[in-house]
Amino acid sequence: NAGVTQTPKFQVLKTGQSMTLQCAQDMNHEYMSWYRQDPGMGLRLIHYSVGAGITDQGEVPNGYNVSRSTTEDFPLRLLSAAPSQTSVYFCASSYSYLQYQETQYFGPGTRLLVL
Amino acid sequence: GDSVTQMEGPVTLSEEAFLTINCTYTATGYPSLFWYVQYPGEGLQLLLKATKADDKGSNKGFEATYRKETTSFHLEKGSVQVSDSAVYFCALSDTGANSKLTFGKGITLSVRP
């Protein structure tokens, strides 16, 4: 049981490039989400999904796209990278969308630097 | 909207010192409250939680009590260890469908031998 896995661990991009951050979980969790972590800002929700084929925007969705074609995978796409997207990105999952009763399981994070 | 306020950091303590990390919240409904911990180089993991007023969450010697009257969920530990050095996040999730998890800014704890 690998839990939540993320790739890559570290990435450097140039402004305007695109890339996909991968996230997978093997716990058959219904709910998956992406956060970004910035110094002094805590974690901010980018996008989330309550099940395969269903996604929705979080607090800071601009510049990011997501899709959920399977229960296991929830990739995050940066369409045209900007320096403001330099951050650490965490993927998380939980058994259901009822966050008030669930434990979130986090991946190890992807550190992204946009030059 | 919902929000979580944590005390400013960082916090540096000597081993075996008493720890208190303050957390207060604002919520419109009946939230559940959480403490997550992030050890260096890792993702966050749940430390403890409480789902209703007066509940006490506890784990690994840490405790926090859900105080509705003061809208607080302060984290305490009687004797910290070097291995407790980490970033601690207070979070809440309000009841209702598709509810989200709202995090505080986090506070870095360093424990010196």
pLDDT in tens, A7-17: 999 999 999 99
B47 phi, psi to nearest 5 deg: -95, -50
Give pLDDT, residue B48: 97
Give pLDDT, residue A97: 81
B42 contact residues in A (CB cutoff 8 A): 108-109
Contact A108 B42 (CB under 8 A): yes
Cα distance from A17 to chain B (closest Cα, Å)?
Answer: 26
C-alpha to C-alpha distances, A27 to A1, A34, A38, B37, B39, nearest whole angstrom: 8, 17, 28, 21, 22
Position A1 pLDDT exceeds 80: no
Contacts 24+ apart (CB under 8 A), A49-56: A49/A74, A50/A97, A50/B98, A51/A97, A56/B98
Position A20 pLDDT exceeds 90: yes
Give pLDDT, residue B99: 64
Pick from A62, A112, A50, A54: nearest CA to A87 = A112
Give pLDDT, residue A48: 94
pLDDT averaged over every residue in chain A: 94
Q: Which of B34, B98, B107 to mutate to test the interface with A (most CBs of A within 10 A)?
A: B98
Position A75 pLDDT exceeds 60: yes
Weakly modelled stretches of chain B, pLDDT under 70: 96-99
Cα distance from B3 to chain A (closest Cα, Å)?
Answer: 12
Q: How many residue pairs from chains A and B have C-beta atoms closer than 8 A? A: 60
| Mean pLDDT, residues A61-65 | 97
Give pLDDT, residue A113: 97
B100 contact residues in A (CB cutoff 8 A): 45, 48, 58, 99
A99 contact residues in B (CB cutoff 8 A): 32, 93, 99-101
Give pLDDT, residue B95: 76
Position A47 pLDDT exceeds 60: yes
Structure tokens, A39: 């110094």
Q: Which of A99, A102, A103, A111 to mutate to test the interface with B (most CBs of B within 10 A)?
A: A99
Q: Over the stretch A35-44, which tens digit does the pLDDT of each residue have?
A: 999 988 889 9
Q: Which residue of A has its CA nearest to B50?
A: A101
Give pLDDT, residue A13: 97
Pick from A58, A113, A47: nearest CA to A82 = A113
Q: Which residue of B has its CA nearest to A91?
A: B43
Q: Which of A7, A32, A56, A100 to mutate to test the interface with B (most CBs of B within 10 A)?
A: A100
CA distance A4 to A91: 7
Contact A42 B43 (CB under 8 A): no
Band of pLDDT at residue A102, cut at 50, 70 and 90:
confident
Position A46 pLDDT exceeds 60: yes
Give pLDDT, residue A100: 76
Within 10 angstroms of residue A12's Cβ, the number of other Cβ atoms is 11
Give pLDDT, residue B96: 63
Cα distance from B52 to chain A (closest Cα, Å)?
Answer: 10
